[in-house]
Amino acid sequence: MNDVCPWSGAPVDETSLTVYKGHVVGFCNPGCRDKFEAALTHFDAAIGALEEKRDG
């Protein structure tokens, strides 16, 4: 697991973890974790739309 938050660079808080592609990713607070998870949702949706367009 990472030692510093990928958004802020602050130390990871053990209560602000998520799993991404089978790996635990730590954040400095729940807000940073939630921002990361929201970004992933948007990226996944955009990629899905591109794949549908390509395959459609």
Mean pLDDT in consecutive groups of 10 residues from the start of the chain, 56 residues: 96 96 96 95 88 87
> Could you give the number of structural domains in the chain?
1
Predicted structure pTM score: 0.78
Q: Who contacts 26 (Cβ-Cβ below 8 Å, separation ≥6)?
A: 1, 2, 3, 5, 12, 13, 14, 16, 17
Chain position carrying tokens 């990713």: 25
- The pLDDT assigned to 44 comes to 86
Chain position carrying tokens 């549908």: 52
- The pLDDT assigned to 43 comes to 85
Tokens of 25: 């990713």
Amino acid, single-letter form, for residue 42: H
Instruction: Output the CA–CA distances (angstroms, integers) from residue 22 to 19, 54, 56, in the order listed.
Output: 6, 28, 30
Q: Which domain does 23 fall in, by range?
A: 1-56
